[in-house]
Chains A and B, each alone.
Chain A
Amino acid sequence: MKKLYTLLVLLTLSVTALAQNGRQLYNKYSDTPGMEAVYISPAMFRMIGKIPDMEFQDGEVNLSPIIKSMSGFYILSTSNASVRDALYADVDKFIKAGQYELLMEAKENGSVMRMYTVGDKKTVTSFVMLAREADEVSFISFDGQMDRAQMEELMAQMAKE
């Protein structure tokens, strides 16, 4: 019977973990007044990747390889004081429930920005940025099969800009 209880506890925990994901956060907050919400589906990313004459340049940073390997993209950003704390707390819970690894953290004058990734040594399967400023909370998340070396190169290029 001990095995049975262990099995049930594990199942319950896994269900709790499943209940937290970017899509759920987006569905929960996207219709909130004062919320900037952007969702780009895998189908749209396939369309972006097929545009032949698209110049995938942002200044000197080439976003093309990363964008082409994305499969889902969410942005939630708000300065609405009544939901800022709840959004921040939910994203924080979502990060802690997953297998996210802190990539970078910057703090200054009470504002904080953290970037997290999930994946292995070669591939990043999920990326999350959570930023909190005095009057705004922003959550950016994207999924896909992104080359970790390309992601790191992109970050290094961003830092040089």
Chain B
Amino acid sequence: MKRIQDIEKLSIEELERIGADESIPVPADLQVRLPRRKAAKAWSVAATAAIVVGLGGFAASYEPAPKDTFEDPYLAYAAVERAFSRMSAGVNQAADKVAEAEEMMDQLNYWNK
């Protein structure tokens, strides 16, 4: 019987010739178990985990669409207008602050001259 070290020394052609030789009997109780590569196993675990976490995350973050507050588009538009009025008040507040600061800077510049 050949040892592993002997087999590893054989060339591809020799291995092919031995493989094609049907006169060599194959033991009935031969069981070949190919080793699974560690990297492939890790990536299959990662892929499974990614799918599970992804699906779980989607399910957790899924929110049903709320019901429209208005059925009439005119009322909806009026609500948007009111919201813009509120925003306008905020923008004006900021603009007033900028104007105050500009006035102060002008006064400082005047006294520095």
Contacts and interface: CB of A to CB of B under 8 A. Distances in A.
Contact of B68 (A40, A70, A138, A161): A40
Q: Which of B43, B73, B85, B91 has the most CB of A within 10 A?
A: B91
Interface in B20-70: 42-43, 45-46, 49-50, 53-54, 56-58, 60-61, 63-70
Interface residues of B, number: 41
Interface in A105-120: 105-106, 108, 113, 115
Interface of B: 42-43, 45-46, 49-50, 53-54, 56-58, 60-61, 63-70, 73-74, 76-77, 79-81, 83-88, 90-95, 97
A75 B46 contact: no
Nearest to B53: A11
Contact of B73 (A37, A44, A75, A155): A44
B22 to A, nearest CB: 45
Nearest to A113: B90
A19 B53 contact: no
A122 B40 CA distance: 44
Q: Which secondary structure dominates where chain A touches chain B?
A: mixed
A30 B37 CA distance: 53
A3 B69 CA distance: 47
B80 A129 contact: no
A12 interface: yes
A11 B76 CA distance: 38
Given A58-B81, A73-B80, A4 B42 contact: yes
Nearest to A4: B46
A1 B74 CA distance: 58
B77 A23 contact: no
A23 B63 contact: yes
Contact of A38 (B46, B79, B87, B90): B79
Given A4-B49, A106-B93, A113-B90, 17 more contacts: A8-B50, A11-B54, A14-B57, A15-B56, A38-B79, A41-B68, A44-B70, A48-B76, A48-B77, A51-B73, A58-B81, A61-B84, A61-B88, A108-B97, A113-B93, A140-B83, A155-B91
